[in-house]
């Protein structure tokens, strides 16, 4: 234990297993000189909570710890999330400030991170504003400190991050970090994201961004559809800030992505747990038994609660409206599921709080939205026509919450002051299923997939790859012919992946040639 503490205090865990093993062997030989060395017969034991990595994952880890910007890809369930958690642990052990982000709440929960909007301090309304206003908002105290202190940003489910969102985020972080260096009389940091190390993780064969090029990055105006001379659909800024092909919607087509100069790593072989099982039939059998046991226990729980109503919950935000509607600290987000187990009065701590101007000095439009949201919630709760008690939901993750009203306030118009549109509701809906979009990032034991209304390339692939095994998968609402068509790759993504394959093949060939020499 003392040896372990000394090594952990040194903040250097790169080869901790081997060093501890050697020191433990030495200590045993000192205490028991006549005893055969017992350590040689044992593999190093992972530290508590440290994921076991296969060779491919370890190679990616080594590249990341050497400071490379990395793009890590691979099919659903191949171990990308396992690597993200391992990277997070190792970076933190080296004193790095790491932020894990993902485009959806469920994907963020899966890696223990935050949504991309939450990290940036933005709401969907903010994308309607000129970039200079986003820049100004980033200089608010909370976001300014976050951008300033970030050493590494790991973006999961990168396929769902839109081209210009990636650009906006990089430019906003760069603006803050460059201004700090300039005021200190130091050179501006080079590269995107103001010199922050960027690790993008995901599979572009999965779901693409939703509503790409909706608002112009420069002026915030609604982008309009138009046809080019070659009959290609373009998204165009009415103020002439550029035309964009819809097929350029992915982050890998953005200008800031190009500047990242990513090193590629493609996972092909790990299993659903991110660990290579080749030649380990006993381990595979053991894991299969564990999954079957979990399924039996889950069936028993479902049977006990079968008379209760299943609900899908959009978790309300009890704080200021500029934060997304998630409560990641309690592991709840849009799409979290549970059952109604009663009705109670709204706890005092969940009552709406009046927004403070000090939090919105750089964002007067956001302050106006927050005040309107507070007014609507207060009116709903105080109204004699409103219920005195609200639903209590027991969520699948063990959390129990009283679900009060939530008010969504959106801005409409081309310039400030905007018209405000709102809707106040109890954010619950019957939810015995989840959308394919919300399922991305999850690995599930049993999945019934209905593809009758699949409308986007990548949806069928994402839905089917959620299942841990073919035995746990049932497909409905499609024919074999339709399924084959739905599984085809988008041509733009196919070309991009072929380029990566060529780069990796060239890199592997160089390595082989070097070893021969």
pLDDT greater than 50 at residue 517? no
For the record, the structure tokens of 281 come out as: 């039939």
Residue 192 and residue 91 in one domain: yes
Please give the average per-residue pLDDT across 346-363, as a whole number.
87
Residue 456 and residue 505 in one domain: no
Q: Which helix (H) or strand (E) segment is 407 a member of?
A: strand 406-412
Residue 60 and residue 165 in one domain: yes
Q: Which helix (H) or strand (E) segment is 115 a member of?
A: strand 114-115
Q: Which helix (H) or strand (E) segment is 401 a member of?
A: strand 400-402
Question: pLDDT, tens digit, for every residue of 215-224?
Answer: 999 998 889 9
Residue 110 and residue 33 in one domain: no
Residue 461 and residue 403 in one domain: no
Please give the average per-residue pLDDT across 369-376, as a whole number.
94
Question: pLDDT, tens digit, for every residue of 96-148?
Answer: 999 999 998 888 888 889 999 999 999 888 998 899 988 888 888 889 999 99
Q: For residue 223, is it within any domain?
A: no
Please report the beta strands in 237-351, taking only residues with DSSP state E, as ranges in sequence order: 243-245, 263-267, 310-313, 336-344
Q: For residue 22, is it within any domain?
A: yes
**pLDDT given at position 456:** 83
Residue 392 and residue 454 in one domain: no
304 — pLDDT class (breaks 50, 70, 90): very low
19 Ramachandran zone, left/alpha/beta (phi>0; psi -120 to 50): alpha
Q: How far apart are CA 23 and CA 27, in angstroms?
A: 6
Q: For residue 466, is it within any domain?
A: yes
Residue 339 and residue 467 in one domain: no
Strands 419-425 and 406-412: antiparallel
Residue 203 and residue 136 in one domain: yes
Task: Report DSSP letters for 427-477, one per residue.
Answer: -EEE-SS--HHHHTT--BSSEEEE-TT--STTHHHHHHTTBSSGGGEEEES
278 — pLDDT class (breaks 50, 70, 90): very low
Please give the average per-residue pLDDT across 464-473, as a whole number.
87
Counting residues of the chain whose pLDDT is more than 70, the rounded percentage is 75
Question: pLDDT, tens digit, for every residue of 481-496?
Answer: 888 888 888 899 999 9
Q: For residue 460, is it within any domain?
A: yes
Q: For residue 97, is it within any domain?
A: yes
Neighbours of 415 (CB within 10 A): 11
Residue 499 and residue 476 in one domain: no
Q: How far apart are CA 154 and CA 152, in angstroms?
A: 7
Q: How far apart are CA 451 and CA 470, in angstroms?
A: 17
98 Ramachandran zone, left/alpha/beta (phi>0; psi -120 to 50): beta
Q: How far apart are CA 335 and CA 429, in angstroms?
A: 10
**pLDDT given at position 168:** 95
Q: For residue 230, is it within any domain?
A: no
Count the domains in the chain. 5
CB 270 within 8 A of CB 301: no
Residue 257 and residue 391 in one domain: no
Provide the mean pLDDT of the chain: 79
Q: For residue 513, is it within any domain?
A: yes
Residue 321 and residue 421 in one domain: yes
Name the residue range of residue 502's domain. 487-517
Residue 353 and residue 456 in one domain: no
Q: Where residue 196 sits, what CATH number does that domain have?
A: 3.40.50.300
Please give the average per-residue pLDDT across 402-414, as a whole number.
88
Q: For residue 243, is it within any domain?
A: no
Highest mean pLDDT among 31-35, 64-68, 263-267, 485-489 belongs to: 64-68
For the record, the structure tokens of 290 come out as: 């564990």
pTM of the complete model beyond 0.85: no
């Amino acid at each position: 234990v003392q040896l372990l503490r000394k090594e952990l205090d040194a903040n250097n865990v790169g080869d901790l297993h081997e060093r501890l093993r050697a020191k433990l062997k030495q200590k045993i030989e000192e205490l028991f000189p006549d005893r055969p060395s017992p350590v040689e017969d044992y593999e190093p034991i992972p530290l508590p909570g440290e994921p076991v990595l296969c060779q491919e994952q370890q190679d990616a880890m080594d590249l990341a710890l050497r400071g490379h910007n990395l793009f890590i890809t691979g099919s659903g369930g191949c171990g990308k999330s396992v690597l993200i958690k391992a990277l997070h642990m190792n970076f933190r052990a080296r004193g790095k400030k790491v932020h894990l982000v993902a485009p959806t709440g469920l994907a963020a929960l899966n890696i223990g991170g935050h949504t991309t909007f939450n990290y940036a301090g933005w709401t969907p309304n903010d994308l309607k504003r000129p970039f200079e206003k986003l820049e100004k908002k980033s200089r608010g105290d909370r976001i300014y400190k976050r951008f300033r202190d970030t050493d590494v940003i790991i973006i999961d489910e990168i396929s769902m991050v839109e081209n210009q969102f990636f650009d906006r985020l990089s430019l906003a972080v760069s603006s803050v970090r460059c201004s700090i260096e300039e005021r200190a009389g130091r050179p501006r940091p080079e590269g995107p994201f103001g010199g922050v190390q960027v690790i993008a993780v995901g599979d572009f064969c999965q779901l693409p961004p939703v509503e790409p090029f909706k608002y112009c990055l420069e002026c915030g105006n609604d982008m309009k559809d138009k046809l080019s001379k070659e009959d290609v659909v373009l998204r165009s800024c009415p103020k002439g800030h550029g035309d964009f092909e819809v097929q350029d919607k992915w982050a890998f087509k953005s200008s800031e992505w190009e500047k990242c100069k990513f090193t590629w790593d493609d996972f092909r072989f790990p299993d659903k747990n991110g660990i290579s099982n080749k030649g380990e039939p006993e381990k595979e059998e053991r894991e299969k038994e564990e999954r079957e046991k979990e399924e039996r226990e889950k069936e028993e729980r479902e049977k006990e609660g079968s008379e209760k109503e299943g609900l899908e919950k959009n978790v309300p935000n009890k704080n200021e409206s500029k934060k997304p509607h998630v409560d990641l600290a309690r592991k709840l987000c849009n799409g979290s599921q549970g059952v109604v187990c009663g009705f109670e009065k709204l706890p005092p701590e969940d009552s709406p709080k009046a927004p403070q101007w000090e939090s919105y000095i750089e964002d007067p439009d956001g302050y106006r939205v927050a005040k309107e949201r507070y007014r609507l919630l207060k009116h709903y709760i105080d109204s004699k026509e409103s219920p005195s008690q609200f639903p209590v939901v027991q969520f699948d993750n063990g959390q129990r919450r009283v679900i009060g009203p939530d008010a969504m306030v959106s801005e409409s118009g081309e310039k400030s002051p905007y018209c405000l549109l709102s809707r106040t509701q109890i954010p619950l809906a019957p939810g015995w299923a989840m959308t394919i979009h919300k399922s991305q990032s999850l690995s599930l034991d049993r999945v019934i997939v209905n593809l009758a209304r699949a409308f986007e390339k990548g949806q069928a692939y994402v839905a089917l790859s959620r299942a841990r095994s073919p035995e746990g998968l049932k497909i409905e609402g499609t024919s074999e012919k339709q399924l084959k068509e739905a599984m085809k790759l988008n041509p733009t993504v196919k070309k991009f992946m072929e380029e990566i394959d060529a780069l990796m093949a060239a890199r592997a060939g160089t390595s082989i040639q070097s070893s021969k020499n």
